[in-house]
Structure 1
Amino acid sequence: MGSTRQIYSTGSTPEFLQSIIQHDSFSTTLIVCSTRDQFLTRLLATTHPTRGEVAGHHPIYDKTIGLLSRSTRVRVLFCPTLENLRACLSVVGSQRVHPQDKKEIHGQIEARPLLAVLDSLSLHAPTTEFSAQGLSRTFAALAETSFKADMNLVLCECQDSTSPEVSPWNAQVPMLNSTVRVSEETALFRRTVPVKRVAERWFEFIEKDYAAAGIMDDAQEPIHKLPKSRP
């Protein structure tokens, strides 16, 4: 069976991270498109901690970050810019896992490695590349990386806790980067397209049912700090 390229179109950051932890691949590379501090701040904000609660002892650290940081098969990389992300992909794409390195469990070969990318759209939003042209460049690089490394690929853009009803995949973007000079009479100058339509050239959209998958069950794990890995 060939590798898959999917986008989880729903879910919060904790839900997505739990699905990564419980994925059956023997090796996972998780790319978080932000700095480590920004990621932890946003992750904690999604839980809406009550007054007087100690942030460092919120259940999210027990159920998600503790498991993630202690996992021997999940590597976490932080990419706060598009340049960081593309440099990271060039490295990941050169690290193909050979079939003989895969392990056999209960008579079955473990699933191929997983490349998971969190919040890639957020890197484009404040740049001139928040367009069909810029997004296509990134999506193509992601698809090429997963192909070269023989990895399954999954993307998730976690929705803002203040407006969970708004999907970032429905945002309208121009066809070309804002740095491209075109005539006002050119149709491409005025035309916009949904981000989802751009992404569908490379990815299959999945409405993941996190509750049915049972990934939000409590986990009694100690608190650990997230690793500081960077590309």
Structure 2
Amino acid sequence: QDTAPLDEILELDSQRRQKILELESLRHERKEASQETKIDKEKGRDLRTMIRGLEEEVRGLDTELEELLLQVPNIPHSSAPVGKDETDNPIVRHWGDLPTFDFQPAPHWKLGESLGIIDFERGVKLSGTRFYVLKGLGARLQRALIAFMLDLHTTGHGYQEIYPPFMVKRECMVGSAQLPKFADNLYHDDEDDFWFVPTAEVPLTNLHRDEIVTPGMLPFYYVAYTACFRREKMSAGKDTRGIKRGHQFD
């Protein structure tokens, strides 16, 4: 469903254009007045006041317009199916065969606790719901998987490893399409205006933001590990058990 505020965008854009025309006209009038031999000081002060007022209005319209433009989604690829939810997603391909068992498999949260590698109770004690503690072989497996992923990409596929900050500026979140749409699902430090990354893609895709890349430099092959932080408000009531919807994960 298309919920982009196109009518509001067009209206604001029209207002902005009109204000800019008025502003340029006043600036021209002020320039001409300053070149006159006999300068009307009162008129000059009035023009400066009106110019400052219009400049403030244009800045306000720019801010409003940017917020609305950021709500306009990308155009879906022609191959993307139309559907109401994930149940309408077609299976494009699959690899291997699903295993079958002659018994009822236990869920991972039961296996993790019985093996002593996941501690949900102490995770909640430390940080609240949707947190867990990995212990012993569980922690070792987590560390090994991270190292395996990084080593595979760097030694096997020629990627450069990056160790980025786990907190970024607002511009990084906007540049990676996390803001404003997912603001409610992100952790934010109000005092310093830092945003905790929900995925390593956020700092990686912003490494060269606002830079001019010369021909021949592309493509960049980067790989990174970060802890990821999500409030999971959009998945309220889903996967409440286990480690699938944790607030912090790797």
Q: Which has the higher contact order (CA 8 A, sep 6+)?
A: 1
Q: Structure 2-normalised TM-score?
A: 0.19
The structure carrying a bigger strand percent of its residues is 1
Larger Rg, first or second structure (1 or 2): 2
Which structure has greater helix proportion? 2
